[in-house]
Structure 1
Amino acid sequence: MKLTIIRLQQLSAQDRQDLSKVWPEKDIAATEKQLDDRHQLYAARFNDRLLGALRLEIVGTEGKLYDLQVREVTRRRGVGHYLLAETLAQNPSISHWWIAKDGSEQPQVIAAFMQASGFQAEASGWTKNRPTE
């Protein structure tokens, strides 16, 4: 089965269980209650299981990304990169992207990942502008 990136608007019981493995510290029910056109949730699905996810907040033509996370056992296989790239591609009206620096214990790994994804480092996070036609 192919890895697919989907926007989740309503979570199944399996989705909640999978997301609790992706984000063990998050209140999944509270996250689900926030979902609307402005607050979105994208996930990487493989074999009917969620392997990674991120939250997107849309403010005009800006997209703010939060909680980009891939399950530990699935990392280093391109899931995070594909999740990020497809989320950007599925939102063509957003011209400026921002993701917060998360205080990760592996800042060099995060920096390499973000740079490979086309983001530039700033004091508060990482940014990317969609090229204008």
Structure 2
Amino acid sequence: MDTALRTTAEYLKTRKQFGVTLNKFQALTFRAADMYVSLELARSTTLWASMVQEAGGDVVSAADRARLQTSRAGRHIGKEAIQLHGGIGVTAEYSVGHYTSRLTAIDHLLGDGDWAADRLAATVTDHETVDPLGAPYA
């Protein structure tokens, strides 16, 4: 994911359209920033899951949460990288398409986000309902 993001950021700094580099277009810069946020969220969730393991917490749930976030981030970053590269992003010779294919293969190999979401959804009733206003439920 990191490599796809760096490759895309470099492309936006060097590719010119209408006489200016693509990173001067605000909408494209926002999309690249969203890719960065996805990457950092996946990293922080994975780091948190490893800390849960060290603390002796619910490792399975933490791993499923990290898997779900990493899956979503990989798909988001891959799709955006291809879109931001335009037509060249889908050619067989270009690296961004390969990164996206690899992210997809890894996602399916280790259990994709849908699988993790299903496992997390199955345990949702195991937790008490929390009322932010403090009123008890009947």
Question: Common fold, TM-score beyond 0.5?
Answer: no
Instruction: Return the structure number with greater relative CO, CA threshold 8 A, min gap 6.
Output: 2
The structure carrying a bigger strand percent of its residues is 1
The structure carrying a bigger helix percent of its residues is 2
- State the TM-score, normalizing by the size of structure 2: 0.31
